[in-house]
Structure 1
Amino acid sequence: MDSPLATVALPAALAIIMFGLGLSLTVADFARVARHPRVVTIALACQLLILPVVAFGLVLLFDLPPLLAVGMMVLAASPGGTTANLFSHLYRGDVALNITLTAVNSVIAVVTLPVIANLALGYFEPSTTGTMGLEFTKVLQVFAIVLVPVVIGMLVRANRVDFARRMDRPVRIASALVLALVIVGTIAAERENVGSYLADVGAVTILFCLVSLAVGYWIPKLLGADKRQAIACSMEIGIHNSALAIAISISVLSSVDIAVPAAVYGIVMFPAAAVVGWLISRGRGTVPAKALPVQHETEKASKKH
């Protein structure tokens, strides 16, 4: 697919989003896994193992066409988005845990996204697209899409903490706008089929979103996580990086059709997360509403000097 959306707009849009993610990360976010291995392991197991199984079951239940079925699996394999941090803060979750999960899962996705996409392509066998495979060039492409902008953002933050702090809000706003444009652009590219796509994947994406949010909350909570950690896991697992799923679908798999579930999910996940967040944050066990968002160790250190 050689349209400007695939060759220019999408890579640039995703670079902005992933660079913004990098600006919010430090090495401490990865090191924090060693201090809280249990909750991180539970959340990653939900994200990497349970969600693909849930998505596969829903695809079979709704009998989706092959391309849309592959799109659902790519969506399920995509990591959490940076917006999960905002929702977690709004509903009194453990934002530090969100940041750690986003950091770790974004790295793991370099491997898991190609694997799950390849398995889905092999199983559903859509006739209008090639296989993603695990060829070196394809893995490099995913690596460049996912990690290179993040690493650049982390390097900027490590060397220019004050600049990264000032840019955090503008980049987050820009990322949200870019995400909206990516979704609108994807739907516009298939505008003649929007009605049928919504009929095909509207219900399944809403159900998948609700199940993701529920799995992210209840499984960690039942396995011993406190309420703030469970809320963080729910937002992280329920709010996917749909822009990444769209970029992989269009730029790597060369199919707008495969991108449709992620585009629809990008619309439905925010109101769904808002309702679920309000429900699960009610009652006891959450921090006061005036609590401040988490600060990185580097920021705390900078204030001492």
Structure 2
Amino acid sequence: MTASWITQGLLPAAIAMIMFGMGLGLTLADFSRVLRWPKAVALGLSGQMLLLPALAFSLCLLLELSAEMAVGLMILSACPGGTMSNVISQLARANLALSITLTSFSTLICLITTPLLISWSSKYFLGQAQPQFSLVDVTLGLCAITLLPIALGMLVNHYFPNVSRKGEPLFRRFSALFMGLMIIAVLWQERQILAQSFKDMFLACLLLNLGSVALGLLLGRIFKLSRTDGVTLAIEVGIQNATLAMLIAMTFLNQPQLAIAAGVYGLTMYVGAMVIALWAKWPLGDSKPENQQASTTQSKAS
């Protein structure tokens, strides 16, 4: 895992392919939906950009995590949801169109917020031992492996819709397979450190996942969103792009030990996802408004 051709070549290329596959399923309509659901989008982004990092920071202090574990957890909390949140939203019969919109906007916003949060958390927890990196280089690197592939995928989707319709499911499967392999590789690579801190790291990741899912539901309930939109927020806030967090730790920062949190979270995040999916399918008489159903159907068709 520490070989340069993997961290400097294979890993960024694989992430770029995943983002290209994400772009194949996006249209400009996914970005314009913010005008249709401004409150839901604002709440979802606030939960992911503000409340999730705040929750992660609180857990780092309460559980007294080691500096490396704490920074790793903060890196994870700074990453967007990724395609897995869209898959889980579809399985949970949530508002898929809203999920895609939140994923799209969070990915763009994270180009700015992620480097800043990494820099701050590294200084806070590691002090003089913080890894040396350039905010500009990290931002440009994130643009190269996220923004550009997504834009290219959207262009293919626009001009060659039949190609994107057939290719997007393949890239989605590749995304899930690659994330699984990366989790196994990271945990095996850092197995000695993991063995010493597995109890604390597992507990922190599990609490972060369950807490973030609860935050999403709470936001929906407080601001009186529909049950479906509340479930969508819970999924978007609770599911993070663990593969991207691994890339940042191993490639941009050259600190594989910081990727342990992402590896553990890549396993525990499905606990909250399973709970919310089962709860979402439990009949409580709260149905989706007609405009949401139409938007969801349109999103699936695209």
TM-score, scaled to structure 2: 0.92
Deviations 1:53-110 (A, max 9, x none): 1100000011111111111111111111211112112222100000000010000000
Deviations 1:129-175 (A, max 9, x none): 424452x2232112212212111111111111111111122111111
What amino acid sits opposite 2:276 in the alignment? Answer: V
Deviations 1:180-199 (A, max 9, x none): 11111211221233322422
**Cα distance change on mapping 1:270 and 1:298 into 2, 3 Å:** closer
**Cα distance change on mapping 1:27 and 1:293 into 2, 3 Å:** closer
Asked whether the 8 Å contact 2:92–2:278 carries over to 1, the reply is yes
Q: Structure 1 residue 259: deviation in Å?
A: 0.8
- Name the counterpart of 2:179: 179
- Name the counterpart of 1:206: 206
Moved more, 223-232 or 194-203: 194-203
- Name the counterpart of 1:66: 67
Asked whether the 8 Å contact 2:92–2:276 carries over to 1, the reply is no
Q: Structure 1 residue 295: deviation in Å?
A: 4.4
**How far apart, in 2, do the equivalents of 1:191 and 1:266 lie?**
16
**How far apart, in 1, do the equivalents of 2:274 and 2:159 lie?**
35
Asked whether the 8 Å contact 2:22–2:168 carries over to 1, the reply is no
Asked whether the 8 Å contact 2:93–2:280 carries over to 1, the reply is no
Q: How many residues were matched structurally?
A: 297
> Equivalent residues in 2 for 1:250-265 (5 A)?
250-265=250-265
- Name the counterpart of 2:168: 168
- Name the counterpart of 1:22: 23
Query: Among the aligned pairs, what percent are the same residue?
Result: 33
**Cα distance change on mapping 1:164 and 1:293 into 2, 3 Å:** farther
Q: Structure 1 residue 261: deviation in Å?
A: 0.5
Matched, 1:294 2:296: yes
C-alpha root-mean-square deviation of aligned residues, in Å? 2.1
What amino acid sits opposite 2:96 in the alignment? Answer: V
- Name the counterpart of 2:81: 80
**How far apart, in 2, do the equivalents of 1:203 and 1:222 lie?**
27
Is there any run of 5+ residues in structure 2 with no aligned partner, and where? Answer: none
TM-score, scaled to structure 1: 0.91
Q: Structure 1 residue 52: deviation in Å?
A: 0.8
Deviations 1:113-135 (A, max 9, x none): 0010011011112555424452x
**Cα distance change on mapping 1:126 and 1:16 into 2, 3 Å:** farther
Q: Structure 1 residue 15: deviation in Å?
A: 1.5
Asked whether the 8 Å contact 1:114–1:132 carries over to 2, the reply is no
- Name the counterpart of 1:249: 249
Find runs of 4+ consecutive structure 1 residues off by over 6 angstroms. none
Asked whether the 8 Å contact 2:220–2:227 carries over to 1, the reply is no
**How far apart, in 2, do the equivalents of 1:124 and 1:220 lie?**
33
Is there any run of 5+ residues in structure 1 with no aligned partner, and where? Answer: 301-305
